[in-house]
Amino acid sequence: MRLVILGTGKMATHHAAHFAAIDGVKLVGAVDVNYERVTAFAAEYGITHAFTSLEDALNWGQFDAVANVTPDRFHYATTMQALKAGKHVLCEKPLATHYEHAREMADATEAAGLVGMVNLTYRNTPELQRFRDMVDAGEIGAVKHVEASYLQSWLVSKAWGDWRTDPTWLWRLSTQHGSNGTLGDIGIHILDFAWYGIGSAVEKAFCRLKAFDKDPDGRIGDYVLDANDSFTMSLEFENGALGVVHATRWAPGYHNALRLRAYGDKGGLEIHHGFEGTTLRACTGDGIDQAQWVDVPVEPVPTNYHRFVEAVNTGVPQKPTFRHAANLQRVLDLGMVSDADRREVTVSLGDEGKDIDQALAPLRSV
C-alpha cells in the first residue's frame, strides 16, 4: 500500500512511525502548507515526494491511501477531496467538527466503496478489546450501570508545555480556531470508550459544559478562551444501562487518564489507562460476595494502523469506521444542544440528521 501523510505536525510522526513499521506499506508522499516543515518531515522518514497542497499530491496521484493528520477543521474538506479522487482515508479524530459533515463523509466513503476509518487511538488498547469480549461473552451479565472519565491536567500543569504560549494548546481553547472544547477534543475518545466497551449505542443524553476563567481578559492574543474545559454527560444506552461520562482539563495528578467501569447483574469490569500503564480487573462469580477484584490478562491486538492496511489490501471493512465516528459526533453535537437548552435529548440515528442540523444552526452562528 502506497501512503501519503497529509499534515506533518506532531501527530503525523506517530502515523509515519507506525505505518513505516508495517510490511508492505510504503510512505511515498507528505503534504503540508509549510514548505520547511514538510520537506524536513519527508527527509526524516525517507519520503521521496513533498507537496505544499493536497491538490498537487492528487494531481500526481501515485498512491493508494491518505493518513489525514490535519487540524480538526480541515478534516472534512481534505477527506472529501481524497475520497473524490478514489483514495482510501484514515482520518484523525474527530472525523469532522459537526455531525452534518461527518455524515457526508461516511456517505461518500460507502457510496464509493472506499475504506474510511477514524483513528480512535484507544481502540489499540488490548485491555479495552478484552473488556468488550468479556461483555459480549456475558461474563458480567446484563449491563446496568456505566461510568467513564477522561482526566487531563494541562491547564494546571506544564508537563506537556505551557498552554499560555504554545499554539498547540491555545487553539483547543478557542471556538474561533475550530475547537469544540473538551467535549469535541477528548469527549469523542471517552464516549467511544464507553460505547464500544459495553457494545451499545447511546439513546438519550443530558449534558453540561463549562468554560472556566483562565485569563483576566478572557483571551490571549487572537485566541478567545471560550471553548468548554469540562463536561459531564448523563446517558441512557440502547441496552437499558444508565451511565455517566465526564472529562476535564482541570485534573491535577492526572496527565492523561481514562477509566471505564461497567456493572452488570453477574459482575463488574473496570479498566484504567494512563501514561503509567493499563490495568483491567473483574469482579465476577464467587468474588462478588467478597467484593474481590482480580487482574485480567490480555494479549496484543492489531492497531488501527494495521487494521487500515488490512482493509485497503483485502477490501474488507475494518472498525472504527467513518459511520461510527459520525454517530459519535451526533451524540457530541446533541450534547451542545442539551447544554444550551438545559434539557435531555433523544439520539436517533435514522432521520438523516435533519433535526440536529436545525438545532445546531443557531449555536454555530453565535
Q: What does the pLDDT look like over 114-124, one tens digit per residue?
A: 999 999 999 99
Residue whose entry in the numeric block shows the C-alpha cell 483491567: 280
> Is 11 a member of any domain?
yes
| Structural domain contains residue 354 | no
Residues facing residue 5 across a β-bridge: 30, 67
> Which residues, including other chains, have CB under 8 Å from residue 54's CB and lie 6 or more apart?
6, 31, 78, 81, 82
Burial of 306 (0-12, 13-18, 19+ CB in 10 A): middle
The predicted pLDDT at position 126 comes to 98
Which of 276-280, 294-298, 340-344, 348-352 has the weakest average pLDDT? 348-352
Question: Based on the domain organization, do 85 and 115 belong to the same domain?
Answer: yes
My answer on whether 86 and 220 are in the same domain is no
Mean pLDDT of the residues in the chain: 94
Q: Residue 351: what pLDDT?
A: 46
Cα–Cα distances (Å) from 259 to 238, 246, 284, in that order, read: 21, 10, 19
Listed residues 276, 305, 334: the one ending a domain: 305
Q: How many domains does the chain have?
A: 2
pLDDT computed for residue 267 by the predictor: 98
Domain hosting residue 272, numbered range: 123-305
- Residue 216 reports pLDDT greater than 90: yes
Tell me the whole-structure pTM to 2 decimals: 0.91
Residue 186 per-residue DSSP state: T
Which ranges in the chain belong to alpha helices (H)? 10-20, 35-44, 54-60, 75-84, 99-112, 126-136, 167-170, 181-185, 187-198, 304-314, 322-341, 354-364
Q: Work out the percent of the chain whose per-residue pLDDT is above 70.
A: 95
DSSP-derived pairing of the beta strands 26-31 and 256-264 = unpaired
Report yes or no on 275 lying in a domain. yes
Cell triple for 113: 466503496
- Collapsing DSSP states into helix, strand and coil, what is residue 91? strand
Q: Are 147 and 243 in the same domain? A: yes
- What is the 8-class DSSP label of residue 286? G
Q: Are residues 49 and 74 in the same domain?
A: yes
| Edge-to-edge strands, sheet with 65-68 | 49-51, 26-31, 2-6, 65-68, 88-92, 116-119
Structure confidence at residue 361 (pLDDT): 55
Co-location of 181 and 300 in the same domain: yes
Residue where one domain finishes, among candidates 121, 156, 188 = 121
Q: Is residue 336 a part of any domain in this protein?
A: no
Higher per-residue pLDDT: 10 or 258: 258
Structure confidence by residue, pLDDT tens digits, 238-253: 999 999 999 999 999 9
Per the domain annotation, does 314 fall within a domain? no
| 3-state SS, residue 336 | helix
- pLDDT at res. 352: 44
Of the three residues 72, 87, 121, the one that is the final residue of a domain is 121
**284 in any annotated domain:** yes
Taking the CA of residue 345 as centre, how many other CA atoms within 13 Å lie in the half-sphere pointing to its CB? 26
Q: For 348, phi and psi rounded to 5 degrees?
A: -125, 130
